[in-house]
Amino acid sequence: MTSATSPSPLKIHHKSQLSPLDMPERLLLGPGPSNSNPVVVAAMNRQPIGHLDPAYLALMDEVQDLLRYVWQTSNELTLPVSGTGSAAMEATLANVVEPGDRVLVGVMGYFGHRLADMAQRYRADVKTIQKPWGNVFSLSELRSAVEEHRPKILALVHAETSTGACQPLDGVGELCREYDCLLITDMVTSLGGVPIFLDDWKIDLAYSCSQKGLSCPPGSSPFTMGERAMEKLVRRPEKVANWYLDMSLLKQYWGSDRKYHHTAPINMTYAFREGLRMLAEEGIEQSWARHKNTAEYLWTELDKLGMECHVDQEYRLAPLTTVRVPAGVEAKTVTQAMLKDHNIEIGNGLGELAGKVWRIGLMGHNSQPENVDHLVSALSQVLNK
């Protein structure tokens, strides 16, 4: 008999039988994720093996080589972080920011603010320079800011997902070497779809994600770290504050030691390897050209509808276009109708651009002219209503 003081048994209410998982298939033309190639999806359906199995360790080597090709870098420490793009973002800061380090962040959209927030959490002395959302920094503006603040780290968003603007990086790496600071770049929306020459640009740390230009599911995020950044990591007197993202530990698992660190996402690595393999088979320069051609086709078709892009063409991202919401139109009503009536996802504006723009992604596997035709036809019908 249950005593008056003992807790009552927990009653769980649920249906006697749940149906097997059945999710809708969408055409994902928003800021990410993008649709995956069926080959990538099929790779995920294989049975997992152990994360220290010799076959899996060989697969890790292949992934690292393919990532170096896509990044155009010879950095030894190049690997996918087990987590989404924000985990790779945090890894860049966690490993090189020490308490009191001055970090200068170029803020021209939502994700510049996120970089500043993360750096503050690692007790950096954070300084920011600002640009209106949709604009980019000139090299002379960056030089003036570096001369004024003398940071140990300069963090820039190469591809600002909130605005669709692409920050030029020519000469920035040389500037950072001149003033002895490290250069971090956010390439979440540019990797695979925009020309990137990591070594030629002298970038010290960069990160991206799997679900945009690489057309894989989210969960494995490219990260790369050059020699100058490694030297700072080795010299730091205290351990990296984030154990999970500590590259001095992760390099032992991804390097020749193969020392256990964490259970890697086996099936995500299968998918990631196939996505990278298909990109390498196409050729990285061909992928850049395909994204450019598809984006220019979209811009032409939007112009025919009388719609305006938010970013000047010179600085637009090919994988992601921000288009201004016409006067008198409720942005969310349109995105809801696109999904409900046409099974197409496009993104609403973020932060300062909420309600002012839509974000249209033509990334990776989805960067095809037939998707532009489908999108423009559906958007025209919805707006005409």
Domain span holding position 134: 38-280
pTM equals: 0.94
Last residue of a domain, one of 253, 280, 307: 280
Distances (CA, A) of 376 to 103, 109, 259, 369, 371: 42, 26, 51, 11, 8
pLDDT for position 16? 59
**Any idea of the CA torsion for 303, 305, 309, 313, to the nearest 10 degrees?**
-10
pLDDT at 12 over 80: no
Is 355 domain-assigned?
Answer: yes
DSSP conformational letter for 218? S
**Any idea of the CA torsion for 297, 301, 302, 303, to the nearest 10 degrees?**
100
pLDDT for position 15? 60
End-to-end CA distance of the chain: 66
Is 45 domain-assigned?
Answer: yes
Q: Span 185-198, mean pLDDT?
A: 98
Last residue of a domain, one of 225, 256, 280: 280
* 273: helix, strand or coil: helix
Based on the number of CB atoms within 10 Å of its own CB, is 266 exposed (0-12), middle (13-18) or buried (19 or more)?
middle
With contact defined as beta carbons under 8 Å apart, do 142 and 301 qualify?
A: no
Instruction: Let me know whether 263 and 297 are in one domain.
Output: no
Instruction: Let me know whether 232 and 340 are in one domain.
Output: no
pLDDT for position 19? 87
Last residue of a domain, one of 280, 303, 322: 280
pLDDT for position 18? 83
Dump pLDDT digits (tens) for 253-303.
999 999 999 999 999 999 999 999 999 999 999 999 999 999 999 999 999
Dump pLDDT digits (tens) for 115-161.
999 999 999 999 999 999 999 999 999 999 999 999 999 999 999 99
With contact defined as beta carbons under 8 Å apart, do 295 and 364 qualify?
A: no
Q: Count structural domains, the chain.
A: 2
Instruction: Let me know whether 167 and 235 are in one domain.
Output: yes
Q: What is the mean pLDDT of the chain?
A: 96
Is 81 domain-assigned?
Answer: yes
Confidence tier at 385 by pLDDT (50, 70, 90): confident
pLDDT at 234 over 60: yes
Confidence tier at 17 by pLDDT (50, 70, 90): confident
User: At 151, which CATH number?
Assistant: 3.40.640.10
How far apart, in whole angstroms, are the C-alpha atoms of residue 302 and residue 296?
10
Dump pLDDT digits (tens) for 171-191.
999 999 999 999 999 999 999
Strands 357-361 and 125-130: unpaired
Instruction: Let me know whether 186 and 120 are in one domain.
Output: yes
Dump pLDDT digits (tens) for 317-345.
999 999 999 999 999 999 999 999 999 99
What is the DSSP track for 252-272? HHHSTT----S---HHHHHHH
Helices (H), 79-187: 85-96, 110-121, 139-149, 172-178
Is 228 domain-assigned?
Answer: yes
Whole-angstrom Cα Rg for the chain: 22
Is 141 domain-assigned?
Answer: yes
pLDDT at 4 over 70: no
pLDDT for position 13? 65
pLDDT at 2 over 80: no
Is 83 domain-assigned?
Answer: yes
